[in-house]
A and B are shown apart, each in its own frame.
Chain A
Amino acid sequence: MLSIYKVSYKNLLRKKTRSILTIIGVGLSAWVLASLMGFNQGYEASLNRDIDNMGFQVLVTAKGCPYEAATLMLKGGTGLRYMKESITNLVLVNPEVDKVTPMLMHAVFDPNKGESGGMSAYLGVDPETFPKMKSFLEFKQGKWFTDSKALEVVMGYEAAELEQREAGDILLIPDKNIELKVVGILKRTGTQDDGTIFVPIHALQKLFGKTGELTGLGIKVKKDANIAKFEEKLYELPDVQVVSLAQVKQTIMNLVSTAKVMVFSIAMIAILIAMVGVINTILMSVFERFQEIGILKSIGAMPWDIFKLIWIETFILCILGGIAGTGMTFGLSKTTEFLIRKLLPYTPTGSLIKLDFNLIAMTMLTVLIIGLVSGIYPAWKAARVRPLESIRSELN
């Protein structure tokens, strides 16, 4: 049995090169489209992930207190300001808060470090809350301490290298003559955590006489909370400063949205070009086959049959193009990422383009709609061919 689909398909084989070029055109635009949609999904996700990797979106410190280890180092370990531990409760009453983790920073001059001595940064953290917030931290050796009073430490990757410590070794705090046991060493993170020595918070408070005091409070905000409003509330607390990563993120997202509009316009243009290409190809083949279409009419084809025949041809072109485009999207996703990275002001570390089934379904749907729409005019044109016109035109 000969089906109309087979006839359509074989019609496309007549001008193979032309059909293939059209398919490539559709494929390219499907590729741009899928990559764009994948980027839309992926960029924000990986930006969020980057920011989540900081563990908390808001940091509260005492007014004037340096909140970065680097600043602390520059100041030679001085200039730290302290808040009362009770601030934790004041923060926790806010409904926006998901989790908090108290921190105490301390820096000590170590004369044995390097050639002329150096600073060692200690961070007192709460074993209950801190590891959960920074769950992405991975261990090279050992694991977190569990008792907030224990005389144990976890060392960042570089700190451990510098001090040449392994899990199970002893670490001596200069001047204090107190031995701490190294229970874990972190993998490299590329952040300031690498140079930090983590100590259970209550142990550190006691060691340096800062009982009941904190230098920072990390706050993880609930997913849908209004962060801006929450920050304003925090400012009402006495003598604190608020450092917000959400602001940083917002700034980045704003920058990116301009780029998004640009990429989106490119995708629209690509779709238009694909449509014009399809219309052109099919229209040309309709004109070339005018007489033949007339014959089809004379052998019994209704206008709707001819319409279908031509429409199916555009469908086949577009579906094959969609498949080719999907293939390109997956095959070239690394290249696409590279191109997008060059285009954007800031790019997170994770993969920028997120491809999934939905995305492919969306792309195929779009391509199908392109086919549907592009096919209408040529198919209508062909359907209107009168059997006679075409037979007549042999005379001319």
Chain B
Amino acid sequence: MENQIAIKAQHLKKIYRRGIEEIYAVNDISLDIQKGEYVSFIGPSGSGKTTLINILGCLDNPSSGKLSIGDKEIFSEGKTLSEKDLTKIRRELFGYIFQKFYLIPTLTVLENVLLPSTFYKKDGTENHASELLNMLGIDKRKNHLPGQLSGGEMQRVAIARALVNYPQILLADEPTGNLDSSRSHEISEILKDLNQHKELTIILVTHNMELARTADRVVELRDGVVKL
């Protein structure tokens, strides 16, 4: 358990082409993330934060470089897993939250949380959903529709949805981007708590320094490279 590597990235590059112009959104980044670690990425807009964590989260493939999750090799010099295998890894290991919550407006809070289980189900998700809503303090709202909730509550629903299938790693891209400071604070407390008590590995992208500092490690990006 101690010091086990959850994610190992070596020389990751992501190149976008716009006509003849080449953009190195991620330019040779290598890093390890330990199991149970809480890492946050900061940096100015366009510095490659989203691009990087999408690769780390197996949502996107790098142009070159290597990526392993646990002992599974995901990308290696142009070779990638099939979309199907990637989906399997994603739903087995990862939970994702984003700046927008993407809750389904016609499903209740509880149904939204249970949504992943219609595609992929680990044991006991039904109870787990209620537990999570309880833990996140929105159990009273479970039969409400997302439209009846505040932004902070909606993000908490999205967090519950991300956690319902017991992921090992939570990927959060600007989870507080749409929230005011006190709601942001609530979310940061929740993340810290999840990391400490559920041993959840958390990879966070944020502009918010206060939020970034709650992490074990803060990585700053600049023009696609890690700023030391």
Contacts and interface: CB of A to CB of B under 8 A. Distances in A.
Interface of A: 1-4, 6-7, 10-11, 13-14, 291-292, 295-303, 305, 386-388, 391, 394-395
A167 to B, nearest CB: 73
Contacts of A395: 50
A46 B162 CA distance: 65
Interface of B: 50, 54, 59-60, 83-84, 87, 90-91, 94-96, 98-100, 102, 104-107, 111, 114-120, 126, 161-162, 165, 173
A325 B99 CA distance: 44
Contacts of A299: 91, 95-96, 115-116, 119, 161-162, 165
Contacts of B96: 295, 298-299
Most A Cβ at <10 Å: residue of B87, B106, B117, B119: B119
Given A2-B118, A11-B104, A299-B91, 11 more contacts: A2-B114, A3-B118, A7-B107, A7-B115, A14-B106, A298-B96, A300-B90, A300-B120, A302-B87, A391-B98, A394-B99
Contacts of A302: 84, 87, 119
Given A299-B91, A299-B161, A387-B59, A4 B118 contact: yes
Contact of A298 (B59, B114, B118): B59
B90 A298 contact: yes
A355 B112 CA distance: 44
Contacts of B54: 388, 391
A301 B90 CA distance: 10
Contact of A292 (B87, B102, B161, B173): B102
Nearest to B113: A2
A301 B106 CA distance: 19
Nearest to B117: A2
Contacts of B119: 296, 299-302, 305
A2 B87 contact: no
B104 A292 contact: yes
Contact of B106 (A13, A388, A391): A13
Contact of A388 (B60, B105, B114): B60
A13 B104 CA distance: 11
A298 B170 CA distance: 12
Given A2-B114, A7-B107, A300 B87 contact: yes
Given A387-B59, A388-B60, A296 B98 contact: no
B100 A394 contact: yes
10 contacts: A1-B114, A10-B107, A292-B102, A295-B98, A298-B94, A299-B161, A301-B119, A386-B83, A391-B98, A395-B50
The 10 A-B residue pairs whose C-beta atoms are closest, nearest first, are A300-B91, A300-B120, A10-B106, A299-B116, A301-B119, A295-B102, A2-B114, A388-B59, A300-B119, A388-B60
Residue from A2, A291, A386, A387 with most neighbouring chain B CB atoms (10 Å): A2
B118 A291 contact: no
B83 A300 contact: no
A391 B114 CA distance: 21
Interface centre among A4, A295, A388 (most CB of B within 10 A): A295
Nearest to B161: A299
A391 B59 contact: yes
Contacts of B98: 295, 391, 394
A237 B126 CA distance: 89
Nearest to A299: B116
A166 to B, nearest CB: 74
A9 B60 CA distance: 31
A299 B158 CA distance: 11
Contacts of A4: 118
B161 A2 contact: no
Nearest to A6: B111
B25 to A, nearest CB: 11
Nearest to A387: B59
Nearest to A4: B118
A2 B110 CA distance: 9
Contacts of B84: 302-303
A386 B60 CA distance: 9
Contacts of B162: 299
Contacts of A291: 100, 102
A183 B59 CA distance: 95
Nearest to B162: A299
B90 A7 contact: no
A9 to B, nearest CB: 9
A306 to B, nearest CB: 9
Nearest to B54: A388
Contacts of B161: 299
A302 B60 CA distance: 16
A204 B175 CA distance: 106
A229 to B, nearest CB: 67
